[in-house]
Structure 1
Amino acid sequence: MTHVNPINEFALGVCYYPEQWPEELWDDDLRRMKEMGLSIIRVAEFAWSVFEPEEGVFQFDLFDKVIDLAHKHGLKVIIGTPTATPPAWLTFKYPEVLNVTFDGVTLQHGLRRHTNYNSPKYRELSARIARQMAEHYCDHPAVVGWQIDNEFNCEISEFYSEADHLAFREWLQRKYVTLDKLNEAWGAVFWNQTYSAWEQVFLPRPTAAPRQPNPHQALDEKRFISDSTISYAEVQAKVLREAAPKQWVTTNGLFGHLDSHRMTDELLDFFSYDSYPQFSTINFDKNEENPLLDRGWSLTLSTTRSISPNFCIMEQQAGPGGWVNRMDMPSPKPGQMRLWTYQSIAHGADMVIYFRWRTAAFGNEIYWHGLNDYHNGPNRRLREAAQIGAELAKAGPHIVGTRNRAEVALVRDYDNEWDGEYDIWHGPFSWKSSKEWFKALQHQHIPNDVLYMRSGTTLADLQRYRVLVYPHPAIMRDETAALLEQYAESGGTIIFGCRTGYKDERGHCYMRPFPGAAARLVGISVEEFTQIKGTRKPATIEWKQGGGEATTADLFNDVLTVESDTVEIIGKYASDYYAGKPAVTRNAVGAGSAWYYGAVFNEAAARNVIGLLGLSSPVANWLSLPEQVELTIRDGEAGPLYFLLNYAEDAAELILSEPRTDLISGDTLQGSVVLEPYGVLILT
């Protein structure tokens, strides 16, 4: 579908669960929201039993009252279809809808996401509740849009019910047509896994080793799960399009085993994401050098932007978070909630909805705090949200609809993500290298996008960027390599790391010299390679003059041989038995170039490449920024907006050599400017 951004004015809102609170609170809640500058609420994504307390018996009184009250107070409403948490009557009467674990354990009622997408009965009942709700609210003046389900593949992203095994078999028959082709794709002759009847084919199941399926079967499993999820979402999307054509459709998430790009293209008006930056501060690797912490969340927001250039944050962290028995996040410090709100906006959000209005007094999420505490009285988070509401009432109209600008893209694809979950010879490297590149770009104030290579990716999509960083694409089709070669010939720079190009789309290793499909593009071959593990220490790379200081080559090293006279050696190994051998090369390709870095990137190596490429911050000629401040740029008809976000507890000094106006305060700034801890500026 062709996407036209339906968000024509900036919206700041909150998730609201009236079914959890006495009715006498509702009117006052909604009045206070409006006074704080909020304009939209999200409701009902977990309320199936409220709408359908018995099978086939529908009632709308509770939400009719709430949505009418919201309209009275001038608030818009997003309704969630409640299919992430089916009623107890449903799972009791129709146990075939329940999901089953890899080990064969049937998940029971009591949490959420305990169903499977391929149960015909669950699809039927999901479509019915969605239709009942859509037909009832399609003309309500407060209702502007729908959220399908909630966080697809959250909690669990694997499905092994009987319905899933049957659907997988049918999916394979459509994909391969014959068993001979399936056996070939899965390399079934290895370990005598050859199938002679379709009834013998299943999703991965427990084997002699605790969990060691055929790797090609495991890759197809992830593709199947994604297709199943999208197919289930389509059941509801079709209903909503038919019954409520004047209201937009989205869903929220960004979880595993789901091609969110395809789902958005085919089913949604825009994508939505749930942003909790403190996950990156409580789960970080204590051995990581120079961690970005909550600033690193911007990489995930960049991924969200790759799906939908203008998106919604359906849940923005508004306080400390946690379940009764897991996820114990501390309280955001003064200013951090505001910082994280603008972080989302800086990366493309045109709608931000806080989770949640009031902290739950019962259930698993009694410690997942909202804007209000249990006591419902004034607190710091409410004051901070009101400040943001007042600021965005003025600044929002200038932000909405603008698009992010970047010259560098970090490149990914779903095949390598899914294959890399199982294949430890390349999977762990991609996230590491992307994160280190992101650090290097962030600290030098060079904005970047995330770009997913897909079957429909065009040369024009690539040519939007001066530099593409595609760290470890083990799976690479020849067609992808040819497209990247066209990009380089037209003047672009493509940068690869070790473990590039040696597998086809089935996950089979090419019977060619490494780097396989990318060999012609980079002009080198891999003489040999080694893991850096156990007693093996990282080698040292010495870079060419002007390339920066020596760096370590971490985790995995490719030893390179130059195969073309268009290749320049940029760095050589300076230690271990391959000392003196090429480690970093640059191949001239038409008007551009293709780099090969024979290791897993760290920030120092990425900085060296950035220096050799001559990349610099787009504001370098008028603005000096310390490392602790993030820069992003959103372009619109009125010109660029420069978002500056200080993630540190210390104030940051900025130097502006020319006057600029801060969109938030309206002040004109020049010379030395102090940005307070967790502070934000939007310069025009």
Structure 2
Amino acid sequence: MKKPVASEQFELGVCYYPEHWPEKMWEDDYRRMREMGFTIVRMGEFAWSIFEPQEGCYEFGLFDRAISLAHSHGLKVVLGTPTATPPAWLTDRYPEVLNVTYEGVTLQHGMRRHYNYSSPKYRELCAAITTQLAEHYSGHPGVVGWQIDNELNCEINVFYSESDHIAFREWLKQKYVTLDQLNEAWGAVFWNQTYSDWSQVFLPRPTPVPKQPNPHQALDEKRFISDNTISFAKVQGDILRAKAPGQWVTTNGLFGHLDSHALTDGLLDFFSYDSYPQFSSISNDAAEVNPLRDRGWGLSLSVVRSISPNFCIMEQQSGPGGWVNRMDMPSPKPGQMRLWTYQSIAHGADMVLYFRWRTATMGNEIYWHGLNDYHNQPNRRLREAAGIGKELAGSGQAIIGSVTEANVAIVRDYDNEWDGEYDVWHGPFMWQSNKEWYKALQHKHIPNDVLYIREQTTLAELARYKVLIYPHPAILSDETAALLGQYVQQGGKLVFGCRTGYKDTRGQCYMRPFPGAARELCGITVEEFTMVKGTRQPTSIQWNGMPDTGADAFNDILHVEEDTVEVMGTYASDYYAGKPAVTRNTRGKGEVWYYGAVFNEEAALNLIEHLGLRSPAAEWLELPAEVELQIRSNADTSFTFLLNYEETPAVIRVAGSKTDLLSGEVITGEYTLEGYGVLILQ
């Protein structure tokens, strides 16, 4: 039975590093945390050498005092297992635990995440420190939960030590059993790559053209890394379950080459995420049209929600961010930290911890600012956090356990994400189309989920949604296509984009007309296709009764095969002018759309209109485009979150009357929502 994120109150807190500060400061720190309404702190995730200064010699005194003092002030403690930063004595004595780059360079002590998951010695040492911590703190009344490691696969998510090559070989033996089957799956006959002995098989290694491995090997590499990461985490998770059964277990992440759904299903009570909305702002392409900036971070939060409907934010951005040499993010403006906090809550968070209590005065993160500045004096961010603490002390209990509502889902899967890292013919398209669909839905105030298609996905999970948008599933199995067919037959509406269905689960191309496994669903074939780049001038799509839209990046020229198919748009120019670009196929009670290009916001808006999608609050609420709408509900109440991402006020109109959960104010008629303002209407 999985433990809930929060059961009695909304948990608001902060990351705290007692080992960084003189002990005489702790009391004042904890006192001020409680005065601000904080209830929980995280600590310990980078403190291995403090817990175990020499191999086999354990010392708990510093953290015993820090945890007991926090508990005496009414603060709960989340302890991190400190395995993200192995100490110098460990890497010096056991250099085989260090990670190795693709080029064969051993990564040395001096930063973090410099280890590999496959080393038997490292797993042994991680198990030992986790066992000691769990036995020591399992009965401590102040410790409520555990975070395994820290940000698995952050900084680096590829591993090429000798231990990794050996583990990959064993993983392949389990998957394929025989070399013949491996050779067939990897298409090893191409370029004479056929293996005759398992000792010849490795993870990808340097080739004459840099980083150009066999693509099927590269896909299996990502699958292996994910399974191996989960296996590494399981060593600690099993110990914590056995030794500390009364405390919950989580980990923080959402990084590459990791099936976070499988990780959570098998090991965790709930998933945790580190939310830094300004990453979305600073990474925007300067050429992007109508960027969402920090509002776009909600798409990542939607992914987190697909893993855990209710989740923890283990690190919430609270100030300007950056290491000494990278990520120079500006300071949030007044109100933005509060906005970002409620962005997390609107998307499903029942626990939020700010990173961090006080900005570090040493190390790589001296510019990754926390709530307190170096001088430790009152500041604007502290006042803002205290205001949030007061609000959530009054309203948070009503919110916890409620879940988001959406009847639209953007569909993803890990195989296409991992295969798309290498395959430029479909890899970049998924990310662009996801973002553009999210923009269009956001601006129309239509909440959406993100749904990951997995082997265990059921029709019931799909049938919760009126519309599924699966932009570019190049890898599409017949089994997944059949499941999607059942969804459509019972009344669902399914939208595909270009490059759909041309690979099997090995990453090999089907010897059948595109869109391969989706051909029967769509009722069309792809007559021809082309990249749109270089000297190839972009064309546009002429829609039936809708504005023309650009046909971005790639064009599938379609051919109608079934009389149930209606052509909804055609290409406007080039040698395929007048050819079908957008089709709709009626199947059972539902319909399947095929869009022959990469999605942009305008195309998504046209489809939203055709699909009959409307805001769930359309009957009683008028909102400008810059305000986000999210809905959380439980058996008794619905909570409508309104978040203004602009610095200027926004005018909304409410038919009837609603009460703002945060202030108690009754909202009716025209209302001006302040810049970066938040309402939770019930």
Query: Whole-Å Cα distance in 2 between the matches of residues 376 and 66 of structure 1?
Result: 19
Matched, 1:666 2:664: yes
- 2:129 is paired with a residue whose SS is helix
Query: Whole-Å Cα distance in 1 between the matches of residues 516 and 331 of structure 2?
Result: 49
Q: Where does residue 631 of structure 1 map in the other structure? A: 629
Matched, 1:266 2:259: no
Query: Whole-Å Cα distance in 1 between the matches of residues 71 and 255 of structure 2?
Result: 33
Q: What residue identity is the alignment partner of 2:186?
A: W
Q: Where does residue 440 of structure 2 map in the other structure? A: 440
Query: Whole-Å Cα distance in 1 between the matches of residues 147 and 426 of structure 2?
Result: 36
Matched-pair identity in %: 72
Matched, 1:579 2:577: yes
Matched, 1:648 2:646: yes
Matched, 1:570 2:568: yes
Unaligned runs of 5+ in 1: none
Q: What residue identity is the alignment partner of 2:625?
A: E
1:146-185 equivalence runs, <5 A? 146-185=146-185
Q: Cα offset for 1:637?
A: 2.3
Q: Where does residue 322 of structure 1 map in the other structure? A: 322
Query: Whole-Å Cα distance in 1 between the matches of residues 445 and 344 of structure 2?
Result: 17
- 2:378 is paired with a residue whose SS is coil
Unaligned runs of 5+ in 2: none
Query: Whole-Å Cα distance in 2 between the matches of residues 631 and 119 of structure 1?
Result: 47
Q: What residue identity is the alignment partner of 1:203?
A: L
Q: What residue identity is the alignment partner of 1:605?
A: A
1:213-224 equivalence runs, <5 A? 213-224=213-224
Query: Whole-Å Cα distance in 2 between the matches of residues 534 and 34 of structure 1?
Result: 60
1:332-371 equivalence runs, <5 A? 332-371=332-371
Q: For the structure 1 residues 655 and 352, does the alpha-carbon distance in structure 2 shift closer, same or farther, using more than 3 Å as the test?
A: same
Q: Cα offset for 1:4?
A: 4.6
Q: Where does residue 499 of structure 1 map in the other structure? A: 499
Query: Whole-Å Cα distance in 1 between the matches of residues 488 and 630 of structure 2?
Result: 26
Q: What residue identity is the alignment partner of 1:406?
A: A
Q: What residue identity is the alignment partner of 1:394?
A: G
CA contact (8 A) 2:6 2:350 kept: yes
CA contact (8 A) 2:5 2:311 kept: no
- 2:169 is paired with a residue whose SS is helix
Q: Where does residue 308 of structure 1 map in the other structure? A: 308
CA contact (8 A) 2:476 2:502 kept: yes
Query: Whole-Å Cα distance in 1 between the matches of residues 226 and 619 of structure 2?
Result: 46
Query: Whole-Å Cα distance in 1 between the matches of residues 149 and 307 of structure 2?
Result: 18
Query: Whole-Å Cα distance in 1 between the matches of residues 613 and 179 of structure 2?
Result: 51
Q: Where does residue 509 of structure 2 map in the other structure? A: 509
Selected match of 2:558 from 534, 557, 560: 560
Q: Cα offset for 1:628?
A: 0.3
Q: Deviations over 1:603-648 (max 9, x none)?
A: 0000000001111101011000000000000011221100000000
1:197-276 equivalence runs, <5 A? 197-276=197-276
Query: Whole-Å Cα distance in 1 between the matches of residues 45 and 288 of structure 2?
Result: 38
Q: Where does residue 486 of structure 1 map in the other structure? A: 486
Matched, 1:87 2:83: no
1:292-303 equivalence runs, <5 A? 292-303=292-303
Query: Whole-Å Cα distance in 2 between the matches of residues 539 and 176 of structure 1?
Result: 45
Query: Whole-Å Cα distance in 2 between the matches of residues 608 and 409 of structure 1?
Result: 17
Query: Whole-Å Cα distance in 1 between the matches of residues 537 and 18 of structure 2?
Result: 58
Q: Cα offset for 1:6?
A: 4.4
- 1:257 is paired with a residue whose SS is coil
Deviates most, 43-52 or 637-646 = 637-646
Q: What residue identity is the alignment partner of 1:592?
A: G
Query: Whole-Å Cα distance in 1 between the matches of residues 109 and 405 of structure 2?
Result: 46
Q: Where does residue 71 of structure 2 map in the other structure? A: 71
Query: Whole-Å Cα distance in 2 between the matches of residues 10 and 138 of structure 1?
Result: 23
Q: What residue identity is the alignment partner of 2:76?
A: K
Runs of 4+ with >4 A deviation: none
Q: Where does residue 607 of structure 2 map in the other structure? A: 609
Q: Cα offset for 1:574?
A: 1.2
TM-score with structure 2 length normalisation? 0.99
Q: Where does residue 10 of structure 1 map in the other structure? A: 10
Query: Whole-Å Cα distance in 2 between the matches of residues 7 and 29 of structure 1?
Result: 24
- 2:514 is paired with a residue whose SS is coil
Q: Deviations over 1:416-471 (max 9, x none)?
A: 00000000000000000010000000000000000000000000000010000000
Q: What residue identity is the alignment partner of 1:277?
A: P
Q: For the structure 1 residues 68 and 4, does the alpha-carbon distance in structure 2 shift closer, same or farther, using more than 3 Å as the test?
A: closer
Q: Cα offset for 1:539?
A: 1.2
Q: Cα offset for 1:540?
A: 1.2
Q: Where does residue 598 of structure 1 map in the other structure? A: 596
Query: Whole-Å Cα distance in 2 between the matches of residues 464 and 676 of structure 1?
Result: 35
Query: Whole-Å Cα distance in 2 between the matches of residues 46 and 237 of structure 1?
Result: 18
Q: For the structure 1 residues 77 and 467, does the alpha-carbon distance in structure 2 shift closer, same or farther, using more than 3 Å as the test?
A: same
Query: Whole-Å Cα distance in 1 between the matches of residues 559 and 637 of structure 2?
Result: 48
Selected match of 2:619 from 615, 618, 621: 621
CA contact (8 A) 2:488 2:588 kept: yes
CA contact (8 A) 2:5 2:351 kept: no
Q: What residue identity is the alignment partner of 1:149?
A: D
Q: What residue identity is the alignment partner of 1:7?
A: A
Q: What residue identity is the alignment partner of 2:667?
A: L
Q: Deviations over 1:465-494 (max 9, x none)?
A: 000000000000000000000000000001
Query: Whole-Å Cα distance in 1 between the matches of residues 447 and 342 of structure 2?
Result: 16
Q: Cα offset for 1:3?
A: 3.6
Q: Where does residue 397 of structure 1 map in the other structure? A: 397
Q: Cα offset for 1:148?
A: 0.1
Query: Whole-Å Cα distance in 1 between the matches of residues 213 and 113 of structure 2?
Result: 25
Query: Whole-Å Cα distance in 1 between the matches of residues 253 and 507 of structure 2?
Result: 27
Q: What residue identity is the alignment partner of 2:591?
A: S
Q: Cα offset for 1:537?
A: 1.6
Query: Whole-Å Cα distance in 2 between the matches of residues 613 and 537 of structure 1?
Result: 30
Aligned residues: 681
Q: Where does residue 418 of structure 1 map in the other structure? A: 418
Query: Whole-Å Cα distance in 2 between the matches of residues 232 and 102 of structure 1?
Result: 21
Deviates most, 3-12 or 609-618 = 3-12
Query: Whole-Å Cα distance in 2 between the matches of residues 253 and 411 of structure 1?
Result: 20
Q: Cα offset for 1:282?
A: 1.1
Q: Cα offset for 1:7?
A: 1.7
TM-score with structure 1 length normalisation? 0.99
Q: What residue identity is the alignment partner of 1:479?
A: E
Q: Where does residue 406 of structure 1 map in the other structure? A: 406
Q: What residue identity is the alignment partner of 2:554?
A: F
Matched, 1:48 2:48: yes
CA contact (8 A) 2:3 2:248 kept: no
Q: What residue identity is the alignment partner of 1:222?
A: K
Query: Whole-Å Cα distance in 2 between the matches of residues 4 and 462 of structure 1?
Result: 26
Query: Whole-Å Cα distance in 2 between the matches of residues 635 and 537 of structure 1?
Result: 48
1:82-121 equivalence runs, <5 A? 82-121=82-121
- 2:140 is paired with a residue whose SS is coil
- 1:83 is paired with a residue whose SS is coil
Q: Cα offset for 1:538?
A: 1.5
- 1:12 is paired with a residue whose SS is strand
Query: Whole-Å Cα distance in 2 between the matches of residues 152 and 454 of structure 1?
Result: 21
Query: Whole-Å Cα distance in 2 between the matches of residues 336 and 682 of structure 1?
Result: 16
Q: Cα offset for 1:211?
A: 1.1
Query: Whole-Å Cα distance in 2 between the matches of residues 280 and 402 of structure 1?
Result: 27
- 1:363 is paired with a residue whose SS is coil
Aligned-CA RMSD value:
0.6
Query: Whole-Å Cα distance in 2 between the matches of residues 172 and 7 of structure 1?
Result: 40
Matched, 1:531 2:534: no
